[in-house]
Each structure stands twice: as C-alpha cells, then as structure tokens.
Structure 1
C-alpha cells in the first residue's frame, strides 16, 4: 500500500494545483465556508487510449462536495480483471485531480493487498501509472481503491462543475456534471473510455435543503453523525454504462411534474421535469412534449429503456453547447428545455438508447451514432408536429449544404471540424436513403436488431450496417450481389458526391444511366475523379404512372459501368430520377426530358409532383448549369413555373441561385438580371403582403422577409421609396450620431440605389461614431457602405478617404472588412482593382510591410473576375509590376489560373444567359430600369 500525504501529493502532482485543506476531513463540512479561493481552471483532457492491462467491471464511488468552496473529495473502489501478466496498472486521472491513497487487493494472492511502490504521472497525458511490487497474473481479479480530491469547474459547465444564480435576491449554488466526451477523469480516477460499460454505485453528500439527482433513484438516505444539515444519498446500482454517461445534479430544484409512462411491453418509467422555483412556470407544458416524443421513440425502438426514471433538468446558468445526456438524467439550458420544439427533445431522448444503452466503441464511431440520432430525431419531429419548427425544410437544409461543400475543389477548406460535420451529415442522409430504399418497416427491423444485439455493450458502425443488411436480406429488399456495408463504404470513403446522368434513348424507350463526380467549382482537375464511383439506388417516377410513394429501387448503379433500363415511357412523357431526394445526389437529363419537365411544371397538373421534388428539379438544373454540365437556357426555363408557385420549399433554392448567379455575371448584364429578379419575385411578394397576421406561420414571415430583401437589392421601386422615407428620419434627426432610429433592413437599399448625399451621410456616421455605442452597429454600417453600392463614385470615395487620405477613424481591421465586402459584386471588385492599378506605387509603399493587409488587398482586387476582359486586366497588372508583388506573388498567379477557368465558363454561358434574359424580358414587357435610380 502507498499512502501519500497532502503535502507530498501537492509537490508530486502539480505546482499550481490546490490541495484539500486540513479542515475538509468530514462530510459535515459541505455546509461550511472558507475565505480562500480553491477554484482551478481546467483544460479539456487529451484523448488517450489506455494500454489493455486491466479492465473494470464495476465502480463504487463516494463523493463529498464542498459547495461553497468549489472543491470535493471522494473514494472510488473499482473491480478490475487483469488481461495479462503485469506489474503496473494504467488509469485515467486528470492532472488537477489529487490521489491521496491507493490500495490494491488481488484474489490471486488470497485477497491480500499488493503494494503500490510508486505512482507516476505523464506530464502531457491525463493518465496515472500504478507500479506494483509484484507481477499479477493474467485473469486475476481485484479491487483498486483510491482516495482523491479536486476542484470543481467554475469557468465552464463541464466535468464536475459549480454554478450560481440569483433567486429572490439570494445567491444559490447548483452542482452538475457533463462528462462527454472524456471528462469523468476530472472528477475521479477511472477507465474513461466509452467501451468500458460497467455498473456504478454512487453515494454523495448533499445539504438537506437540496435534492440530488443521478442516473438512478436514491436507494436510501443516511444521516451524518454530528452534522444536522447534510445527509448521504446512496443511489441504486446503475445498469452497465460508460463513464461519460454518469450524471449528477445537486441543487435547490423543484419537481415541476411527473408522469408514469407505460410502454406496450408493460414497462413503467417515471418521466420528471425539474427547475428552480422561479422558473417552474416556464416549464409548464414541457411534459406534454416529452410524452409525445417518448411515445414515438418507444414505438420505434421496441426495446425498453432499462432505467426506472428519466429526469429532465432545466439547470440555471448551464452553458453547454448541447444538453448533458447522462443516462436517465438529461441536463438542459433553461431556455432549451422551456422554449425549444420537438427536435432537440427527440435527439436527447434518443441518446438514451443510441449512446447510453448501446455506445460507440470509440469517438471515431460517434459521428455515425450522431448521424443516426439526427435522422431519427428529424423523422420523429415531423411525425409529432409536421416538422413546423424546421419549416419543413429538412433534409434540404443539410442536403444542399453538402452538395455545395463536396463539389468544391478542396472540400471543408481542409478544416477538420467542418469535415467531421459534413461526414456526419452525409451519413444522416444515407440513413434516410435506406429508410426509403429498404422500406420503413425493414429499416426499423434492422435498427431494433442492432439495439437488441448491442444493448449494454459498445458498437462500431459495422454493427449497424450488418444488422440493417440482415433485415434487408430477410425481407428481400436488397439484391443478392449487394450488401449495406459495401453501399455505405462507397459513400463515406470519399469527400465527394456523384451526379447521375440519365439519358433517354427515345427510339428504343431505354434509359442509360451513368455517374461521375459532381464538381461545381472550377477547375475540375480533381485527382482520381475518373476512378470514383458509388453504389447508387435508381428510383424513377414516370409521367405515365406517376407514383411518388414507391421508393424501392428498380435497380442499382454499380461502379463506373453504365446501366441500361428498358421499358421507359413514350417520348411525350417525362421521367424523374431520384424523386424526393431519396439519395444525396443531383440528376442530369437529356435536353428533351428537361423540356418535358419544364412544360409539365407550367401546366395545371404540376402539383402532382411533390414540393420537395419540384425544389429538387429546380435546384439540380441551376447547379448543373453552374457546374457547366447543362445549358443555362434550360436551367432558367426551369424557373418559369415559379410565376404560379407559392410553396416556400420550392422557393428556398431560388434565392441561393439569384445570389450565386448574380455574383458571377458581368456588370454589363446586372441590369437585365435584376429586372428578371424583380419580375420573378414581385407577384410572390405582393401575395405574401396580403392579409398579414401576427400569428401566421413562421415560414410565411421568413419567405416574405427574404423576398423583400432580394427585391430591394434588385431595385424594386416601392422598396427603395420606403427605405428612403425611413432613412430621411435619421438624416433629419437633431443628433444623428446618438443612434440609428431606423431598422437595418432600410440601410443597404438606400446605399445601393439612393443618392450620393444619402450615402455620404452614412459615411459621416461611421467617421463620427461615438465610442459609447456598440461597435457592432458601426461594423454593420461600414459593411453596408462598402458592400451595397454599385456606383463606382461611392466606392472610390470610401477607398480614397480610408486609404489615400489616411483618415484616422478607420483601422486596419476596417480595411480588411472593406476589401472583403467589395468582393461581393462585380462593381465592387472591379472598382477596387482599378483603384489598386491607378495608385500602385502609393499602395505598395503603404502596405508592403503589412503582409496580411497587402495579401488581402491583392486577393480581393484580383481573384473574383470571371471573364476574358477580367483576365486581361489582371494579366496586364501582373506584367506591369512583375517582381513587385512580394508575398502576394503566388496570390495573383493563382488568381490568373482561376480566372482562365472561369473565363471559359463565362464565354460559354454568359451569351446564353443574356440571350435568355432578353427574350424573357421582352416577352414580359419589362425594361431594364436600374439606371433611372441614379439620375439624381
């Protein structure tokens, strides 16, 4: 046995860590206070996998928190089994956790203690190595007993934390835990890895006037001799679980309500909601939502949750990004539990099964777990309330974002965190794809098989795929030469998505299907693109027997081989491949089928095509055109049906299209394009402004706001007039620098379409901005001053005063912001380029020693051009000043390479777009009136 004194442990562990004070020797001191601050900031522990020397089979944990001081002490007894002969044991233990005593008893030695000769700590990793005086044989069982103490986290609500709140003018303390992903080691020495799923017996000291909540109910409460104000709560033994799902809350909390839920298998579980006294009224109604969601999940899982109680706690001052999803105890931000809808509740309750009952073996598998929970939660939220909180936009919101991300030349901008998120999103969409292609009942069968096979255990992604595959095999929902794991592998092994080309051979009523990598961003020279292939379900909706409920694939496209499908409809009837975005991929067609679709959507039967599929056809068309795979005339023809379209889902991709194309076309076509936008959006906006009500649906409010913003940007006269009228109130104010009396929505339209006098007034407000006001207001004003105008004179005025005149009211940060905003439109970056070209010597002398600013200027001024004329401008600048770019030499060279690619696209597409716009505007009797706004 090794017993370490307080002083010894202090010197041994950390020069900055605080030790448990001498007076903290009994549980009774939980109530008493000390004047010294014992709090210590904790950093997140490094992910470290332990050597497989021993494995735990159970914990008995006694915890004594000293709430006022923010410190704690405790004892843990861990049952272990030796997996190999060893004279060491390696265990997780935070650097800030102090071990005071270690005892080891091993059955091989007739229950005698094995002496710990030394405890060493890794300076960089949160592990402790216990060195034994003899080798313990493989298979031996024993108890590892440790005494420890540490500091609660007070800066963040993670690990074992303390937070305070005010109630009735009294400061109150609440304690809680949030151990995901690896913070249990910051409260007690343990084997802090998710695959170690064992039982816990927790005992904790609490004040009598507070409640202690953990994963399971309290089995008994015992008095503490000599301490009238505190008691020990001894909780029941938990089911086998991972350390990160262990949970604890101690505080002055009130039970809002309780409901006993009885599932179809006859299992009862208490559902309870908790909050502080003053917040109880805000939690009324939460239980109704919980019951709705819980019922859906139990019907889905068909596997009872092996806890007798599930507590939902609204914790004051909890700051976690997501709730702490301990098994049987979920800790929420107060506002999250009281005001959020069904989606988050669904996610957190699902984690009780997928995360706690069955647990990813390691964090590398956690994204698959998150993806499955994300898909199921969205599906449940739709069933419970029609997905109104998501405005019906799922899966479009996540699907379109990964379309754009994976079609870039360098996805994720090489940012690891973003890569993990998009990978998770892709897998979530794959679960959705399997729900359609296997059928909902087969999908649920596979999910239940997976839960049943892995409950109380850990799992990898393969366990999910194998069970889905077994269910699909049993129900004959997958071809014999395919399996789910291979399908999944073809999708998740690459940061790309396919585009499916569906070309009809009308003379033989045959469809030829091929695939390639979907790339929007040029150049398309992605390594190994020609070798990439996916296992793709081919589902076809056809005009001659239109049925969007049949989602079983007629065939699967494999490898790079083309697939020929016979018995297609007649030439006069369209087909739709991948309706309802069943798989995460766009589809291109031959010209005739696109024409059939465009004509049908303009006809009286267009609503027979569901809104998600109407949105898909529109979204696919313009993205394929943007990528260079489809004529823009065809893509723009697909917008013609929008004159009669009122569903917000179908309009959702339109605004992205307007933004992307508006940024890409040259200044010479901007007037025509804006006239097209006004013609397109005006009927929708005028209808949305009729019969406005306070209680109308959010989607309607949001669609109206979005439509108005885009109309204002496109020069819609009623909008400009309204904006100028509102702006005049600010201009007429006695003290305009005291604050902006108008809504921000009016500023950009005025700066874009208003007079130079109005714009100059805004410039002066930035120059004279009082330091007492919020700087975010100044930032917004500067962004709109730079990013909104399309008049060269306004932009030059801003550049002259901020750079050439060196006005002291503008910082280098302001210049970064201005450069960035000018890249948003052709007039902005073209004016910036000419400003750079005309003032080269001055700007070079001014910025050449400020590398970041100089590089940013060159990037902003040269990288956005998309035409041969732009390439000529940048090339001439490069030749004229060759060798003078210093750190920005590679930047302008990269700009020229990219412009060459974009110029090819522009040469092919801009004449097509202009010809289409001319015909469209003539047919609708519309003139380009944008210039009339600048006559003043």
Structure 2
C-alpha cells in the first residue's frame, strides 16, 4: 500500500492540473493491481481460448517424466513416457511440443489389453512433423491403431533453460551465505508452459498421474509435487543422483513442479480438522530463514482455515512452500504440492497472498478448469475466498477496507467508459476477474452465507480430481440456495450470474419514491460516466439485480436478504416504502457492484442524517458508497451537483479513512475538469477548507502511527500542497535547497521526490531552471527512471506559462540533442494534465505551425500526438472556439491528424455542454458555501496563489 500511495502522490503532483478522466482511474487501476497483481496466467489463458484443441484420437492416462537440468551450460535433457489409450482408430498422434524443444528420439508402443505382461509391439513411427507456427508435434504411424488400444509414447528431448524470465524451466543465480554464487533451477508451467519443457497433452482437462524423476547435484536438494520415494546413485557421475518421487494424484500438466537448489527448510506436521496429516515445509536460502520465522505458523493456521471452509482434506502427503531468490514471476508458481513464492511475498506480514496460493491447491489443483475460458472463473472465486480468509485471519487489518471498495471504484470507472479497456486492453481479463469476484461476493450475501458455502462444498466434492466449468459452480450454488429457500423457484443462479459475467458493463439503479403512496419505481440501465452516453445497444443490456433496502426506521445492516430482485427488466414498482420523512438506502455495503441514484428528497434526507450524531449507525463502507455514488452520478449528469456537494457536508465531522479514500479521487476529477474556469479558484478554496482541519487534526507523523493514518495524512498534505498550502511549500523549498547547494548536483537527487513537484509548481524561476539543467546534464551512470520522473514533473507541475513555453522551445524549436522523441511524447502527455499545460501547448502549436510541421514532417506519430494533446482536452466554449478557429484556418494541413482534430472537436462539444449544464450550479453552491466560510473566519492565509506569469497573489 505504501507503494500505491507513493504512486498517488506522484500522479497528483506531477499531473497538477491533469485530466480527471485519464489520471485518477489509472491511480485506481494501480490500486487494483496491488490488490490483484496482474495475472499473466489469466491474460495468456485468454489468448488460448480460441486455440484449437488437440486431436481426440487418443488421450493420456499417465506420465513418467525424467528431467536432467545441466546448469553449467543452461540446458536440460529429458525423457517422457506417456501411457495412452486410443479413443478412435487413427494413424496419427498429435501432442504439444514447443518449437524450441529439440526432439531426439520417438518410439510408440502398443500393448495387448488382455495380456499386458506380454512384450509391447513397437510401431513404425519414424515419420514426424513439426508445425511451423503452432507448438504441435505430429507422429505418423505406418498403420492405423484400433480404438481402445493402450500403449505408450516414449520421447527423448533436450532444450534450453530460461535465463531472462522465471517461467517454463528456468535457471537463476544467487549468492549463498558464504558469498559464493550458486545456481538453481525451477519450473513455472502455468498456463501453457509445460509444452516448453516436455512433449505432452498440454490442455487443462487432461488430468493424469505423474511419476517424476529429477537428476540433481549431490550438494543440492530436489523438490517436486510429491514426497521423495528413493534416491539412486549414478555410477558414471559420483557427484549427481537421481531423485525419484512418489506418483502424483491426477493433475494437469501445468501443475508439474520442480525445484533443484541449495536450500534449507523448517517444517511441521499439520493435522487438519479431519485428522489428515500433511507435512508442510518452508524452504529458503539459509540466510533468509530468520525473515520467515513467523511464516510456518501462519501457513498452518491459514491451511486449517481453508481446509475447514471446503470441509475437505487436501489429499496430499506434503506441501512445500519455497521462497525462491530472484524469482520475478508476477504470480507465484502454484504447482500442486509445491508453491514457489518471491521471498518478499512469503515473508510479508499479510495473509492475502498466502491464502490465495493455498486456495489454489484446492481450486485449481484438486479441481481444475476444463478449458482456458474457465480460468477467469477459477481466479475470481479464488480471489474472493482468499480475501474472505485473509479478513478472518487478521480481522481485516491487512486489506483495511481496500477490499472490496478499491476494486469496485476502479471497475466503476473502467466499465462506465464509452469504450471499456480501449486504453488498457491488457487489463481486460483482470477487470473481468474482479467483476466476477464481486459477483461471488454478491451471491454470498444474497443467497446466504450457508447456501453459498454448502454449494461450493458440494461442487468441489463432485469434481475433485477432475475438471469443471462455470456451469458446475452455478448449478451447485442454485441447488443449495433452493434447499435453503433463499431464492424463489422461478429464479436461476446461472441466469443471475450470466447476466453479470457476459457484459463489460455495470448497471446503475435509480429509485424514485412516491411519498404519498409509499411506493417506488425502480429503473435499471447501463452506467455510463464518460460522455457522450451513446453506447450502441445499451437499452438491451439488462441484469438480474438484488435490491437490498434499508429503511431509516430499521437500519439492520446485518440483514442482507434482498427485498426483491429486478429480473432483467428495465422498470419495477415496489411497495411498502417508509413514511415520507424517512430515507431508504439501497445496496448497502456495496452488496452488488452497482451505484444507486435516488430522488432529490431522499438524497436530502440522507445528507441531513449524515450530519447528525446518528450517522455512525450507517456503516463506514455504506457512508463511503453514498458519497461516491452521489459525486459520480453528478459527474455523469444523472444528479445535480448541488445535491452531490451537499452530501460532503458531513466530512467536517468524518474521520474514517475509508470514507475519505474516494473523496480525494472526486476532488481530483472535478478540480481538473473545471480548472480552466473561474469557478476553479472557488473550488480550491472549498477543498482547502475541507482538508485543512483534517490534516491539522492528524498532526505530525509518529513512529507508532497506523498505516491508514499515515496514508490519510499524506493524501491530505498532497492536495493541500497542490492548492498552495504554505507550510508544505516552504518545507519543499527548504529541502530542494539542499539539492541546489550540493557540490555536484548531478551525482544524484538527495531529497525525496515528494518535494519536487511543489517546488516546480510554486517555486521560483531559479528552482525550475535548476531542475531543467539536471535533466540536460543527466549522467548515463544513473537510473533512467530518475530522469523520467524529473522530466515529468518539469512538464506536468508548473502553472506558469513561461516554464512550459521554455521547455517546448528547447525540445522542439531548438531541437536540443539532450531530448529524444520519447521525451517529447512524455512532455505532450504531461501537458494534457491541466489547462495551463494544454493551453500553452495549443498556443505554441498555433504560433509555430510552419516550423513544427517541418520538424515533424517525417514523424507522423509525434505530429499526431501533438495535435491530440494540444486540442483534445478543452472543456469550455472558449476552448471550443479556439480549436474550431485553428481547424478552419489550417483546413487541409493536418495531414495524418485530420481525424484527430475532428474527434477533438466532437469531444470538446460534449465537454462544453457538461460545463454549461454544471458550472453555474457548482458556482452557485460554492458562493453560498464560501460566504458562510468567510463569516466563520476560515481560509486564514496559510495558502498562496500565483497568476499565470508566476507572480504571487497573496
């Protein structure tokens, strides 16, 4: 979380006036990535969905696999014997074999099913073919093999160990306790890397037993999925041995795991609640063992908790958890019975990552997805159950409210775009998994925790050792819900789930009460935040939506039984609403992943209640939801900003960080959208009046401060500093002077990055030009990301035109050789962050058109990016007039960017309409607020401001 907050600090500073629609959703996406590190497995599995399946002429029944890593030259040899059965008559055998795997010898043998002890028949299999573009090896037999025949395929092979990435069969190096450089090898075969290591039927549905043997140096240990059965000396090589492991239970090829390394261990014999014994071992390099002192007990307690949830023992004799030095995989290698972690992950204090990897032993190992298309369902269910387990294990202190709200906020932003995932297509599978994870959470609440748990237990018992599809899960949950009488006979869990799984959208629910008849009309539609709201086919998108309704006279938030469901219809009328002087809250605690809008009277009653001493009777997540929904619905044009701003009044009394978390996002969004208007100055005064009491009450940081307090203080300081909070700026300038006074400032930056942007924004010409020289003089011996950060802040932080103008002159007009095309791309991107940046860039383009055209004549990417950055971010009529005038005056000269300027004009018209509709309402509300604040003596001179030329206004 500290890394996340640092990212937020950077983005807030560096994009001092950046576009809200670009900046903050990315912050929340980073937040989601921290909670759910991007899964290469899921993304890769998605690309495999359309991969053609292997021929079904024969299927594997077991594997005997021998691997011989040769660390000296980063290669390996191997032999695999696959026992197979012909499902239909065929004279061809196709199996997965990566193009880089060298096949040395192939032999195919069949056996007499009646007399299995007889010598096998060797078939003529000398002809084989490697597909040029697909990882397929085809073996052609001289004659057809009848259906039902059993036999075996023996293949010897060799390949290269991976040295740059820790996947497939890889080798890496670390220094042992004596300082000696030591190599190790290990495997990470998810989702389809087994074919890189040995020829196989590399599809998840082919679950078979494996008999694995590993050749290793005597001074190392070898680990695999099962306990060691025996060790065999090698007469020709006295320094090596063969380790033969017990035969595994049926498992998919991606579950095969191997480690050969010089490691030490601590272990414990764990007896689960069913009396099953399993030896759990923690392996690491000797000098790291102290860092894992508490890990074993955490593993034991978490393992028992998960075993108890599934009501099923894990059918393994041992479970090895390995902290592997220099393991760089985004995700742990969760092989069945052998999990490979990064050292920092296994030694971390939290429980989530540990719960997640242990959960995969049951859901992924014991039962496995039938095809790649089910990988996101598997990951989503593991994610939800792991979060629930982690919350139980440490009372939620690790997740500390980040789950589920953080994930949900990110999904709201992404799925409310006109084109979801258009900017971050690689995240599509992650957001899909997160959405389904929240679907499981919703089902747990709405069909009841008992039915949900019983349903999943039934599912895993029915499918253990086998494979599953999502239908198997929905069916088991449905049966349990019907038996518990938590859904009606007319409902179907599969239909409910499908309505959420199949859409890259989320709904918004609107409640309009009739206070005379004590009824309400409920409406559902697609939630669209990004304008224009012209998504094709949106009227046809409907969901099964649970309506959990809290009434003011009975605020029992422990009762999550839906009052009713919206059964994939647009409108529904509900009765038995409370008296006209009492509010309702729909979807408390974000039970379902959808925002809720109310009629104005209900919103006003909620705002008034939150200002009262009774507001704590509404749980913190629900208070956060009400605030988040109000602001985002207003931003989308579905609610008056006066109402949304009224909902912030209780923040003067609110100190829970979970409620404040979305506040900073909302301030950023609105502030950046209106920063080119006169209303922005009034809005900043409102913001600093809002944040100053909070920040000053939090006080100076103390050693024993909880993480939430540190994070909240940091965010409050960041936003206050951005608004010109004098103590913050003076502190930043004092620290910056240390750098300026350094004898050799180019050797490195001696101050924290947090101080740089405030100085470049509010500081002097001398300070900014000092930073510019550091970029120009940046030595090649330093890390390039330090220069990138400095350049970002030089471009993105200033609110004075001359600084931006000078940077553009140097990099474009003067063509300073210290700046690359990538630097120019970065500068353009940063200048879109706020009105001072993009208006200065626009003026620069307009005033230097001919020179820039020549400069970028052969660089259409730069030209296109410049036109987009300089014209697309305006939000007012004045901006529309400027861009229109440029378009008309330079008609026919835009070249490759013609479509870009036309798109910019279209977008600006939409944003201008938003400004016309909302700025007067925001300004009127702020006028009333500021008049009252002035009467109360707020905004007491602790803030400074500069005009566009950098002159101090206070």
Q: TM-score range by the shorter chain?
A: over 0.9
Question: For residue 726 of structure 2, what is the aligned residue in structure 1?
Answer: 717
Q: CA deviation at 1:553?
A: 0.7
CA contact (8 A) 1:512 1:564 kept: yes
The yes-or-no answer on 1:872 pairing with 2:881 is yes
- Residues 683/488 of structure 1: CA separation in 2 closer, same or farther (3 Å cut): same
Q: Which of 555, 566, 576 in structure 2 is aligned with 1:546? A: 555
CA contact (8 A) 2:64 2:211 kept: yes
- Residues 751/155 of structure 1: CA separation in 2 closer, same or farther (3 Å cut): closer
- Residues 170/766 of structure 1: CA separation in 2 closer, same or farther (3 Å cut): closer
- Residues 725/481 of structure 1: CA separation in 2 closer, same or farther (3 Å cut): same
Distance (Å, rounded) in 1 between the aligned partners of 2:751 and 2:454: 57
CA contact (8 A) 2:542 2:570 kept: no
Distance (Å, rounded) in 1 between the aligned partners of 2:81 and 2:222: 21
- Residues 771/310 of structure 1: CA separation in 2 closer, same or farther (3 Å cut): closer
Q: CA deviation at 1:509?
A: 0.9
Q: CA deviation at 1:932?
A: 6.0
Q: Which of 286, 301, 315 in structure 2 is aligned with 1:277? A: 286
Distance (Å, rounded) in 1 between the aligned partners of 2:629 and 2:164: 47
Q: CA deviation at 1:641?
A: 0.6
Q: CA deviation at 1:350?
A: 0.4
Q: Which of 55, 64, 77 in structure 2 is aligned with 1:60? A: 64
The yes-or-no answer on 1:590 pairing with 2:599 is yes
Distance (Å, rounded) in 1 between the aligned partners of 2:790 and 2:538: 44
- Residues 71/760 of structure 1: CA separation in 2 closer, same or farther (3 Å cut): closer
Question: For residue 577 of structure 2, what is the aligned residue in structure 1?
Answer: 568
CA contact (8 A) 1:407 1:519 kept: yes
Question: For residue 182 of structure 1, what is the aligned residue in structure 2?
Answer: 192
Distance (Å, rounded) in 2 between the aligned partners of 1:348 and 1:414: 30
Question: For residue 90 of structure 1, what is the aligned residue in structure 2?
Answer: 94
- Residues 153/736 of structure 1: CA separation in 2 closer, same or farther (3 Å cut): closer
Question: For residue 39 of structure 1, what is the aligned residue in structure 2?
Answer: none
Question: For residue 126 of structure 1, what is the aligned residue in structure 2?
Answer: 135
Q: CA deviation at 1:220?
A: 2.2
Q: Deviations over 1:444-494 (max 9, x none)?
A: 111111101111111111111111111111111112111111111111212
Q: Which of 72, 75, 82 in structure 2 is aligned with 1:78? A: 82
Moved more, 827-836 or 536-545: 827-836
Question: For residue 225 of structure 2, what is the aligned residue in structure 1?
Answer: 215
Distance (Å, rounded) in 2 between the aligned partners of 1:762 and 1:232: 61
- Residues 837/390 of structure 1: CA separation in 2 closer, same or farther (3 Å cut): same
Question: For residue 748 of structure 1, what is the aligned residue in structure 2?
Answer: 757
Q: CA deviation at 1:323?
A: 1.1
Question: For residue 295 of structure 2, what is the aligned residue in structure 1?
Answer: 286
Question: For residue 105 of structure 1, what is the aligned residue in structure 2?
Answer: 109
Question: For residue 9 of structure 1, what is the aligned residue in structure 2?
Answer: none
Distance (Å, rounded) in 2 between the aligned partners of 1:777 and 1:416: 27
Distance (Å, rounded) in 1 between the aligned partners of 2:101 and 2:794: 54
Query: How high is the TM-score relative to the length of structure 1?
Result: 0.92
- Residues 317/686 of structure 1: CA separation in 2 closer, same or farther (3 Å cut): same
Q: Deviations over 1:62-95 (max 9, x none)?
A: 3333332333333322211111110111111222
Question: For residue 839 of structure 1, what is the aligned residue in structure 2?
Answer: 848
Distance (Å, rounded) in 2 between the aligned partners of 1:328 and 1:272: 10
1:381-396 counterparts in 2 under 5 A?
381-396=390-405
Query: How high is the TM-score relative to the length of structure 2?
Result: 0.91
Distance (Å, rounded) in 1 between the aligned partners of 2:944 and 2:854: 39
Distance (Å, rounded) in 2 between the aligned partners of 1:99 and 1:777: 47
CA contact (8 A) 2:762 2:946 kept: no
CA contact (8 A) 2:204 2:370 kept: yes
The yes-or-no answer on 1:669 pairing with 2:679 is yes
Q: Deviations over 1:870-914 (max 9, x none)?
A: 111111111111111111111110011111111111101011111
The yes-or-no answer on 1:198 pairing with 2:202 is no
SS at structure 2 position matched to 1:715: coil
Q: Which of 498, 523, 526 in structure 1 is aligned with 2:535? A: 526
Distance (Å, rounded) in 2 between the aligned partners of 1:182 and 1:592: 56
Moved more, 101-110 or 328-337: 101-110
Question: For residue 512 of structure 1, what is the aligned residue in structure 2?
Answer: 521
The yes-or-no answer on 1:683 pairing with 2:679 is no
CA contact (8 A) 2:726 2:944 kept: no
Distance (Å, rounded) in 1 between the aligned partners of 2:306 and 2:833: 46
Question: For residue 794 of structure 1, what is the aligned residue in structure 2?
Answer: 803
The yes-or-no answer on 1:893 pairing with 2:905 is no
Q: Which of 301, 309, 312 in structure 2 is aligned with 1:303? A: 312
Question: For residue 313 of structure 1, what is the aligned residue in structure 2?
Answer: 322
Distance (Å, rounded) in 1 between the aligned partners of 2:774 and 2:62: 67
Q: Which of 335, 340, 344 in structure 2 is aligned with 1:326? A: 335
Distance (Å, rounded) in 1 between the aligned partners of 2:670 and 2:418: 19
- Residues 71/815 of structure 1: CA separation in 2 closer, same or farther (3 Å cut): closer
Distance (Å, rounded) in 2 between the aligned partners of 1:887 and 1:814: 21
SS at structure 2 position matched to 1:472: helix
Q: Deviations over 1:633-666 (max 9, x none)?
A: 1111111111111111101111111111111113
CA contact (8 A) 1:819 1:860 kept: yes
CA contact (8 A) 2:545 2:568 kept: no
CA RMSD of aligned residues (A): 2.0
Q: Deviations over 1:834-872 (max 9, x none)?
A: 222223233233324321111111111110011112111
Structure 1 gaps, min length 5 = 1-42
SS at structure 1 position matched to 2:73: coil
Moved more, 375-384 or 280-289: 280-289
- Residues 733/133 of structure 1: CA separation in 2 closer, same or farther (3 Å cut): closer
Moved more, 715-724 or 453-462: 715-724
Distance (Å, rounded) in 1 between the aligned partners of 2:79 and 2:766: 74
Distance (Å, rounded) in 2 between the aligned partners of 1:787 and 1:275: 44
Distance (Å, rounded) in 2 between the aligned partners of 1:591 and 1:635: 10
Q: CA deviation at 1:733?
A: 4.0
1:751-790 counterparts in 2 under 5 A?
751-790=760-799
- Residues 533/543 of structure 1: CA separation in 2 closer, same or farther (3 Å cut): same
Distance (Å, rounded) in 2 between the aligned partners of 1:417 and 1:83: 38
- Residues 893/435 of structure 1: CA separation in 2 closer, same or farther (3 Å cut): same
Q: CA deviation at 1:120?
A: 1.4
Distance (Å, rounded) in 1 between the aligned partners of 2:356 and 2:415: 26
Question: For residue 498 of structure 1, what is the aligned residue in structure 2?
Answer: 507
Structure 2 gaps, min length 5 = 1-43
Q: CA deviation at 1:138?
A: 1.2
1:646-661 counterparts in 2 under 5 A?
646-661=655-670
CA contact (8 A) 1:87 1:134 kept: yes
Question: For residue 14 of structure 1, what is the aligned residue in structure 2?
Answer: none
Distance (Å, rounded) in 2 between the aligned partners of 1:122 and 1:763: 55
- Residues 739/233 of structure 1: CA separation in 2 closer, same or farther (3 Å cut): closer
SS at structure 1 position matched to 2:66: strand
CA contact (8 A) 1:48 1:125 kept: no
Greater RCO between the two (CA within 8 Å, min separation 6)?
2
SS at structure 2 position matched to 1:144: strand
Q: CA deviation at 1:920?
A: 1.0
- Residues 751/161 of structure 1: CA separation in 2 closer, same or farther (3 Å cut): closer
Q: Deviations over 1:746-790 (max 9, x none)?
A: 222222223334333333433344444433333222222221122
CA contact (8 A) 1:667 1:826 kept: no
SS at structure 1 position matched to 2:422: helix
CA contact (8 A) 2:57 2:90 kept: yes
Q: Which of 916, 920, 927 in structure 2 is aligned with 1:918? A: 927
- Residues 769/241 of structure 1: CA separation in 2 closer, same or farther (3 Å cut): closer
Distance (Å, rounded) in 2 between the aligned partners of 1:778 and 1:205: 47
Distance (Å, rounded) in 2 between the aligned partners of 1:712 and 1:307: 56
Distance (Å, rounded) in 2 between the aligned partners of 1:293 and 1:640: 42
- Residues 114/577 of structure 1: CA separation in 2 closer, same or farther (3 Å cut): same
Distance (Å, rounded) in 2 between the aligned partners of 1:552 and 1:920: 40
